[in-house]
Chain A
Amino acid sequence: MKRTSLLALALLAGCSSPRPAAPQPVVNVGDKKFTESILLAEMAVQLARQAGVDVHRRDLGGTPAVWLALTQGDIDVYPEYTGTITEQILKSNPPDLAAALAKHGVRISRPLGFRNNYALGMHKDTATLKGIRTISDLRNHPELRCGFIPEFQDRPDGWPGLKKHYDLPQTDVREMAHAVAYAALKEKSIDLMEVYLTDGEIAQFNLLVLEDDKNFFPAYEAVWLYRDDLEQRVPEVVRQLRRLEGRISEEDMRRLNTLVQRDKENEAVVAAEFVNQKLAAGIEAREDSLALRLGKTTLQHLELVMPSLFAAVIAAIPLGILAARRPRLGRIVLAATSILQTIPSLALLLFMIPVMKWLVGSGIGPAPAVAALFLYSLLPIVRNTHAGLISISQPLRESAEALGLSRMAILWQIELPLAAPTILAGIKTAAVINVGTATLGGFIGAGGYGSPILRGIDKGDLSLMLEGAIPAALMALAVEGLFDLAERWMVRR
C-alpha cells in the first residue's frame, strides 16, 4: 500500500517537473549550500556550459547528502575538500586518495589552489584582552563560550579531536549555524567559533584566527570530485573543470566570499567575473530580475505543494474511512500517521533521498521533497476524515441503513457529505502546513521559496530571506482564504 502510493506520488512529481526534451547531455553540479561551495559550483556550471551541455546546480545539504547524491548519480560533480574526504567520507587517510575514491566510482581533480582549513576564530578585542594568540592559550580560559556548527561538534577532526589534542577545558558549547555564530561573535554573546580560512567574515568582523600551534587541523585543499562516467560521457566538461586546477588562491577565495557575503552580490555573477578574469572565458552572467526569480520559485513551490497535497488527499481519505469503519485498525492508522508527524522534517527529507532513488531513480530535487510533504499531509486529513465520520449521530446512520441503501451509497451520499466540512478543514490544515514545510525543500535542491530563505540565512541577507518568506506567507494566506471560500460555499449548500 505504502509503496504503491509512494510510486503514484512519485509519478505525479515526475509529471510536474518538466524534463528537457533536447538530446543534450545533462550535467548536475552539487554543492553544500554555503557561499564558497555555491561559488565553486557556479564556476563549474558556467565552465560546463562552455562545453555545450545542459547544466543544473543542485544546492544540497551537508557532506553525507552530497556524497550520497554523487555516488547515486543524482549529481555528477561537486567541490570538496581533501580533509573532509579523509576525515568524514572515507574515515581513513589512505596513501593514495585517488585509488581509494576510485573504489566508489569517484575521481578527484588536482587541488584548485586554496586551502580552507578549519580554524578557531575570536574577536580581536577579546583575544587581546585575554592574551590569547594560539589554540594552546585557550587552556587557561575555561570560561570562554563556544558556538559551533553541529557538524564540527561531531567530526573527529572537529571539536572532539581538538579538545583532546590540546586538552581544552571549555564546557560552554552551543550549537549554531555558521552565519548565526558570526553574528553572535560580533555581538559578543559567544567568544569562540570555528571558522574556515577563506571566510570573508574574518576580515569583515575583525577576527583573529588562532594559530594551530600543535598542528591538529588537517589540510583542506579544495578539489573537484566527479563521477567516473562523467569522464566517459562528456570528457569536455571534465577538461573545462580542470582548467581551474591551481588557479584559485586563498586571497581570491576570501575576496569572492566577501563579495557575496558582505556585498550581497549574486553568486553566478561573481563566479562568472572570476572565471572570465582568470581563464579569459568570455562568459556572460547576469542576475535574473526579481519578478523572474519570484515566478520561478513560486512555480517550484507549487510543484512541491500541489502533487503532495493531491496525493495525500487521495491516500488519506480512504485511510480515514478505514479508521472509522474498523476502530481497532483505526487506532493503528492514526498512531502511524501521528508518528510520521513527529519525525523532524529535515530527517524525513534526508531519509527520502535513498528511498526515492530506489523508487523513481531520483534522490534529489522535487521527488523526495514531495514524498516527505505527502507523508506530513496525511495526519490532518486522516484524523479529520475519521472524526467527521464517527461524529455522525447513530439515528442518522440508522436512518440511512433503514432506507435500504447499500453501504457504498451510504458512504457516498450520506456519510461523506455530512463529514465533508470536517474533511475540508483537515485538507486546509494540511495545505497550510504544506506550504510552510515545503520551504525545507531548499535543503535538498528541490527549489521553491526555501532556496532564497536558506541562502539569505547563510549570507545574512535579509532581503533575500524575505524574497522567500513573504511569498511563502502570502501563499499560505491565499491557500487558507481559498479553503475558507470553499467552506462557505459548502455550508451555503
Chain B
Amino acid sequence: MFRLVEVVKSYSGRAALGPTSLDMPVGKTTALIGPSGCGKSTLLRVLIGLVSPDAGVVSFDGSPVTAETVRQVRQRVGYVIQDGGLFPHLTARGNVALMARHLGWERRRIENRVSELAVLARLPPEMLERHPQQLSGGQRQRVGLMRALMLDPAALLLDEPLGALDPLVRADLQDDLRVIFQSLGKTVVLVTHDLGEAAFFADRLVLLRDGRIVQDGTPADLWHRPADPFVTRFIQAQRGPQVPGEAS
C-alpha cells in the first residue's frame, strides 16, 4: 500500500530521517516504534504528505505521492493524532462529517455513515452534538477515529493515538481499536513508543533510532533475535509493574 524508497528528511541540517526504504503491504498493521526523536512521527507524516522528503520517493497504491496527487491520497487515508485533533468550533458530528460535506455527499448518506461509525467506535449517539471540549479524552479519540474512517479509507495512520489517556480508558480503547482494525482489514500504520501497545496491535514492528531502521520484524523477532544491543535495551527499558514482595 505504502512504499518508501531511499527517503531522506532533515531539519536545518539535522537528519530526521536517514535514507529509509520500507514497504507496508495491504491489510497489515505495522507499528513504528522507538524513543522520542527517532523519526517515527516524521516517517508517518511523510506517508501522508504533511512532510515532504528532501530526497527519495513515497508511493501510495503503486503511484508516487506528488503535490498534485497528495489531496487524493489524503482522502483515501485516515489520520488520527493524539487527543483526536478535533476542530473546537465544530460539534463531534461536524468534525466527523466535515470532509463528506466538502465532497458534497447527500445528507441522508452522511447521517447513515455517521450513525454506523458511532456504533463501530462505541460513541454514545448523544455525544455527537457536543463540542470537543465537552467530551472526555477517550470520547474525543473515538470521534477522531470516526472522522478518519468517514470516507472508508484504504489505510489508517495513527500517531500516538492513545498517548494522552489514563490507563483504564486506554486499555478499553486498545481493545476496541484492535477489533476495528481486524474487522475492517485496513492497512494500519501506528506510531507509539509503548512496545506493549505496539505488540498488542501489530503484526510487524519497525524499530527506529536516530532516523534509521534498526530492526524490522515480528514482535517475536525483536524479543528473541534482536539485531542490535539497542533493541535489547529498548525492550528491557519497558518494564512492567514492580510488585513489592510481601513481608513474611
Known contacts A405-B99, A413-B98; A400 and B74 CB within 8 A of each other: no
- Which of these, B45, B72, B74, contacts A403 with CB under 8 Å? B74
Q: Is the CB–CB distance between B89 and A418 below 8 Å?
A: yes
Known contacts A395-B81, A398-B81, A413-B102; A404 and B88 CB within 8 A of each other: no
Is B200 an interface position by the 8 A CB rule? no
Residue of A396, A402, A406, A417 with highest tally of chain B CB at under 10 A: A402
Known contacts A395-B85, A418-B88; A401 and B99 CB within 8 A of each other: no
Q: Is the CB–CB distance between B87 and A418 below 8 Å?
A: yes
By a CB distance below 8 angstroms, the chain B residues around A414 are 87
- Chain A interface: which size bin? 10 to 19
Distance in angstroms between the alpha carbons of A401 and B79 in the assembled complex:
10
Distance in angstroms between the alpha carbons of A74 and B192 in the assembled complex:
74
Q: Is the CB–CB distance between B87 and A402 below 8 Å?
A: no
By a CB distance below 8 angstroms, the chain B residues around A402 are 48, 50, 74, 77, 79
Residue of A nearest to B101 (CB): A413
Q: Is the CB–CB distance between B102 and A405 below 8 Å?
A: yes
Please give the distance in Å from B4's CB to the nearest CB on chain A: 18
Is A409 an interface position by the 8 A CB rule? yes
Is B130 an interface position by the 8 A CB rule? no
Which residues between 465 and 490 of chain A lie within 8 Å of chain B, taking CB atoms? Answer: none
Which residues between 72 and 123 of chain B lie within 8 Å of chain A, taking CB atoms? Answer: 72-75, 77, 79, 81-83, 85-89, 98-99, 102
Residue of B nearest to A490 (CB): B89
Is A399 an interface position by the 8 A CB rule? yes
Distance in angstroms between the alpha carbons of A297 and B193 in the assembled complex:
69
Is B225 an interface position by the 8 A CB rule? no
By a CB distance below 8 angstroms, the chain A residues around B87 are 396, 399-400, 414, 418
Binary contact readout B54-87 vs A (1 if CB under 8 angstroms, 0 otherwise): 0000000000000000011111010101110111
Distance in angstroms between the alpha carbons of A493 and B50 in the assembled complex:
30
Distance in angstroms between the alpha carbons of A7 and B83 in the assembled complex:
48
Q: Is the CB–CB distance between A401 and B50 below 8 Å?
A: yes
Q: Is the CB–CB distance between B75 and A404 below 8 Å?
A: yes
Residue of A nearest to B82 (CB): A395
Q: Is the CB–CB distance between B81 and A404 below 8 Å?
A: no
Distance in angstroms between the alpha carbons of A409 and B83 in the assembled complex:
23
Q: Is the CB–CB distance between A401 and B89 below 8 Å?
A: no
Distance in angstroms between the alpha carbons of A398 and B157 in the assembled complex:
13
Distance in angstroms between the alpha carbons of A401 and B50 in the assembled complex:
8
Q: Is the CB–CB distance between B74 and A401 below 8 Å?
A: yes
Q: Is the CB–CB distance between B74 and A399 below 8 Å?
A: no
Binary contact readout A385-411 vs B (1 if CB under 8 angstroms, 0 otherwise): 000000000011011111111100100
Please give the distance in Å from A363's CB to the nearest CB on chain B: 46
Please give the distance in Å from B117's CB to the nearest CB on chain A: 15
By a CB distance below 8 angstroms, the chain A residues around B50 are 398, 401-402
By a CB distance below 8 angstroms, the chain A residues around B147 are 403
Residue of A nearest to B87 (CB): A414
- Chain B interface: which size bin? 20 to 34
By a CB distance below 8 angstroms, the chain B residues around A398 are 45, 50, 81, 85
Q: Is the CB–CB distance between A403 and B88 below 8 Å?
A: no
By a CB distance below 8 angstroms, the chain B residues around A401 are 50, 74
| Main SS at interface, chain A | helix
Number of A-B contacts (CB under 8 A): 49
Distance in angstroms between the alpha carbons of A395 and B132 in the assembled complex:
15
- Which of these, B45, B71, B89, contacts A417 with CB under 8 Å? B89
By a CB distance below 8 angstroms, the chain A residues around B82 are 395
Distance in angstroms between the alpha carbons of A178 and B216 in the assembled complex:
88
Known contacts A409-B102, A413-B102; A404 and B71 CB within 8 A of each other: yes
Please give the distance in Å from A133's CB to the nearest CB on chain B: 78
Q: Is the CB–CB distance between B98 and A404 below 8 Å?
A: no
Please give the distance in Å from B123's CB to the nearest CB on chain A: 18
Distance in angstroms between the alpha carbons of A485 and B75 in the assembled complex:
39
By a CB distance below 8 angstroms, the chain B residues around A493 are 89
Distance in angstroms between the alpha carbons of A371 and B99 in the assembled complex:
42
Q: Is the CB–CB distance between B102 and A399 below 8 Å?
A: no
Distance in angstroms between the alpha carbons of A399 and B98 in the assembled complex:
12
Distance in angstroms between the alpha carbons of A420 and B86 in the assembled complex:
17
Residue of B nearest to A407 (CB): B71
Please give the distance in Å from B104's CB to the nearest CB on chain A: 12
Q: Is the CB–CB distance between A396 and B85 below 8 Å?
A: yes
Please give the distance in Å from B138's CB to the nearest CB on chain A: 18
Q: Is the CB–CB distance between B99 and A403 below 8 Å?
A: yes
By a CB distance below 8 angstroms, the chain B residues around A406 are 71
Residue of B nearest to A420 (CB): B89
By a CB distance below 8 angstroms, the chain B residues around A396 are 85, 87
Binary contact readout A411-448 vs B (1 if CB under 8 angstroms, 0 otherwise): 00110011010000000000000000000000000000
Q: Is the CB–CB distance between B99 and A399 below 8 Å?
A: no
Distance in angstroms between the alpha carbons of A466 and B86 in the assembled complex:
52
Distance in angstroms between the alpha carbons of A403 and B87 in the assembled complex:
12
Residue of A399, A401, A417 with highest tally of chain B CB at under 10 A: A399
Distance in angstroms between the alpha carbons of A405 and B85 in the assembled complex:
15
By a CB distance below 8 angstroms, the chain B residues around A399 are 79, 81, 85-87
Distance in angstroms between the alpha carbons of A464 and B125 in the assembled complex:
64
Which residues between 19 and 77 of chain A lie within 8 Å of chain B, taking CB atoms? Answer: none
By a CB distance below 8 angstroms, the chain A residues around B99 are 403-405
Q: Is the CB–CB distance between A403 and B98 below 8 Å?
A: yes
- Which of these, B72, B83, B85, contacts A404 with CB under 8 Å? B72
Please give the distance in Å from A6's CB to the nearest CB on chain B: 34
Interface residues of B (CB under 8 A from A): 45, 48, 50, 71-75, 77, 79, 81-83, 85-89, 98-99, 102, 147
Contacts A403-B74, A409-B102, A418-B87 supplied; 10 other A-B pairs, CB < 8 Å? A398-B45, A398-B81, A398-B85, A400-B87, A402-B74, A404-B71, A405-B98, A405-B99, A414-B87, A417-B89
What are 30 inter-chain pairs, A to B, with CB distance below 8 A? Answer: A395-B81, A395-B83, A396-B85, A398-B45, A398-B81, A398-B85, A399-B79, A399-B81, A399-B85, A399-B87, A401-B50, A401-B74, A402-B48, A402-B50, A402-B74, A402-B77, A403-B74, A403-B79, A403-B147, A404-B71, A404-B73, A404-B75, A405-B98, A405-B99, A405-B102, A406-B71, A409-B102, A417-B89, A418-B88, A493-B89
Interface residues of A (CB under 8 A from B): 395-396, 398-406, 409, 413-414, 417-418, 420, 493
Instruction: Give the top 5 A-B pairs by smallest Cβ distance, nearest first.
Output: A404-B74, A399-B85, A402-B79, A404-B75, A417-B89
